[in-house]
Amino acid sequence: MLSLQRAGIAASAVLAGLAATVLPAGAATAQDSPVERRSVGQQYSAQAGDGWGYMKFVHSGKCADLPGWNTGNGVQLDQWSCASQGNLWWGFYAASDGTVQVKNYHSKKCMNVKGGSTANGAKVVQWPCNEQANGLWYLQGYSDGTLQLKNKKSGKCLNVEGASRGNGADLIQWPCSAAANSRFSFID
């Protein structure tokens, strides 16, 4: 289904695909799948497989994770060793304003800054997908092909807390920079 051996998708292709994939407000539901509402991943490359992929952090080589396959609201997201399993697969879904929702394959819930916080270090959790600003992200690309997610409400970026390389390190928001713990490759 997914292969860690495949090369990451170029950031310019992601951004070009995103620009061409704005969907109407209210189109997302927790039951959506790439077949019903196509992930941006399906739009930007004929090689993109099924649109789901890994968000592999540059600094650690680990992937964004939904721990324990938990489907509850408010579950703290973390990083974990990449493996071919649905709690590590993510899809980018275009929102109505040029941002994306980042949806987990297993839970069908989205990355969200807990409680709409704008504070440094606020936790990133899963929550039912909606178009509230704390669950919307700007997908930004770097010349090396890596990506970064910037939260619409806070203006801060997805980050692995403390630049930890260990399994279970929390995902948080932090002021945006080119630091390796706030950049990832999307591997389908």
| pLDDT (0 to 100) of residue 50 | 66
Taking the CB of residue 166, how many other CB atoms lie within 10 A of it?
13
Instruction: Please give the mean pLDDT across all residues of the chain.
Output: 81
11-187 is classed in which CATH architecture? Trefoil (2.80)
* pLDDT tens-digit readout, 38-51: 334 433 332 334 68
Work out the percent of the chain whose per-residue pLDDT is above 90: 71
Domains of the chain, by residue range, sit at 11-187
> What does pTM read for this prediction?
0.77
Which stretches in the chain have pLDDT values below 70? 1-50
| pLDDT (0 to 100) of residue 51 | 85
Kindly report the three-state secondary structure assignment for every residue of the chain: CCCCCCCCCCHHHHHHHHHCCCCCCCCCCCCCCCCCCCCHHHHCCCCCCCCCEEEEECCCCCEEECHHHCCCCCCECEEECCCCCHHHCEEEEECCCCCEEEEECCCCCEEEEHHHCCCCCCEEEEECCCCCHHHCEEEEECCCCCEEEEECCCCCEEEEHHHCCCCCCEEEEECCCCCHHHCEEEEC
| pLDDT (0 to 100) of residue 92 | 95
| pLDDT (0 to 100) of residue 188 | 87
Vertex 154: Cα angle to 145 and 59 (nearest 5): 35
Torsion of CA 40, 12, 53, 131, to 10 degrees: -40
Residue 185 makes CB contacts below 8 A (sequence gap 6+) with 8, 55, 56, 58, 145, 146, 147
